[in-house]
């Protein structure tokens, strides 16, 4: 998948910036975060605009939460 080269932290920061400033264009964000293709950010935003989305959480974090539930 071509989006895998960006780590989750960068995705999270960019999507949060878009959530906090909805009027900021994808092109502007791509310049600020030095991401070549604005469409990449559009794709992330579409996938992750619900910031509580589990895909943003670190795997270790999820495992830790599972352990708490089991106890």
Is 48 part of any domain? Answer: yes
Is 62 part of any domain? Answer: yes
Q: pLDDT band at 1, cuts 50/70/90?
A: very low
Is 58 part of any domain? Answer: yes
State the pLDDT at residue 48: 77
**Spatial separation of the C-alpha atoms in residues 43 and 25, rounded to whole Å:** 13
- Contacts of residue 62, defined as CB under 8 A and 6 or more positions apart, other chains included, come to 54
Work out how many domains the chain is built from and give that number.
Answer: 1
**Spatial separation of the C-alpha atoms in residues 69 and 71, rounded to whole Å:** 6
Whether the predicted model's global pTM rises above the 0.75 cut: no
Is 1 part of any domain? Answer: no
- Residue 52's domain comprises 8-70
> Token digits for 10?
């960068």
DSSP assignment letter at 53? -
Tens-place pLDDT, residues 11-61: 888 888 888 888 888 889 888 888 888 888 888 888 877 765 555 555 545
Residue found by looking up tokens 């939460």 in the block: 65
């Amino acid at each position: 998948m071509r989006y895998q080269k960006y780590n989750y932290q960068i995705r999270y920061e960019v999507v949060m910036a878009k959530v906090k400033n909805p009027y900021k264009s994808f092109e502007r964000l791509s310049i600020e975060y030095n991401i070549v293709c604005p469409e990449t950010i559009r794709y992330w935003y579409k996938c992750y605009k619900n910031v509580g989305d589990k895909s943003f959480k670190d795997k270790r974090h999820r495992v830790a939460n599972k352990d708490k539930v089991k106890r």
